[in-house]
Structure 1
């Protein structure tokens, strides 16, 4: 199959990477796992056994109404939490084949929806925001946009950092969450070739 390149001849690409059937279940699983991997999981609360204070029974068992043991019980102010949260990992195992398959599925769906565009290069030599804004306007890229470049120059990062909803990533930094949330994804020809080597 071929991808149209803005201002140049079409680029032949692999059907397995840019023409793959969309697997919603796989994409969902990989996106959830990727987001969970970013969670700190450091939440911690004090249970009844962790709260400082005496364990002495403060009243007699009978004749005083409710039966209580000590003031560290969850029903008292300053007492422990009934089911206290503990630090834990939210990581989910996703093997390499699943991750690559999900990325190929997302890229294929973006291509089918016309949200994937290929350019020769972004041509940003100086870190000028106005130059990149003009380029994006020429590409008709609006909304949340991801720019993917192989060995992206520092000038491109600097030019894009002050534009709302424009994100520059290297091919090695591609992630499913950014791709799924993007309205437009712009790739350079070099990045397309690198993605093919990676995912094919």
Structure 2
């Protein structure tokens, strides 16, 4: 698979040969959906909580006598049928949303995503992505010159200057290959990857 090599102006100056084992796989929509949903589920904090009828603060006094009023019988105001009563099946902070995905499936899903991005021309290669000083303006100017407004940059090593220069930019993220997650890969419009990062992907996913 040949990927475009971009210069500082965002123009394609040449092509880079990328391994077909990573960038030439078939599109597996079901697998990609599974690993993206699993990633989102595993990122949940699981801290939502609601109260059942035993936990809400209500009197246990019977609202009215059982018979003779013409009303429906009622036991206490904490009933789930009543406004302000407890929930029948409340959410608990102990609920576990974890979804297990095997390493083999996860890596196959990442390879499938990268291959589809390459086919859709949403992935490009640069020689390097570094900055001499940690200035956000430098990063914004560089990405604007390349015509990138929503981009995931995958570089072999994220140094301090690169991290500080890009952390305040919306719709821009910079990660190393080992931290490239499926959600980010499908979320951003473009993926910019360095030559050295491709070699790291070969070690991780090959």
TM-score above 0.5, yes or no? yes
TM-score (norm 2): 0.86
The answer to whether the aligner puts 1:79 opposite 2:85 as a matched pair is yes
- Structure 1 stretches (4+) deviating beyond 6 angstroms? none
State how far apart, in whole Å, the 1-side matches of 2:59 and 2:73 are. 17
Q: In structure 1, how many angstroms separate the alpha carbons of the residues matched to 2:2 and 2:109? A: 21
1:3 — aligned with what?
Answer: 3
**What's 2:137 paired with?**
130
2:158 aligned with 1:162: no
Question: Do residues 115 (structure 1) and 118 (structure 2) align?
Answer: no
Question: For the residues of structure 1 that align with 2:78 and 2:41, how far apart are their CA atoms?
Answer: 34
Shift of 1:106: 0.8
User: In 2, Cα distance between the equivalents of 1:17 and 1:75?
Assistant: 56
When the two structures are aligned, how many residues end up with a matched partner?
199
The gaps in structure 1 that reach 5 residues or longer are none
Aligned position for 2:38: 33
Q: Which one of the candidate residues 76, 79, 102 is aligned to 1:70?
A: 76
TM-score (norm 1): 0.89
Greater Cα offset, 149-158 or 76-85 = 76-85
- SS for the counterpart of 2:125 is strand
SS where residue 79 of structure 2 aligns? coil
Task: Report how far residue 54 of structure 1 moved.
Answer: 4.1
In the other structure, the counterpart of 1:47 is 52
The 1:4/1:53 distance shift into structure 2, 3 A limit, reads closer
Q: How far is the alpha carbon of 1:138 from its aligned partner?
A: 4.4
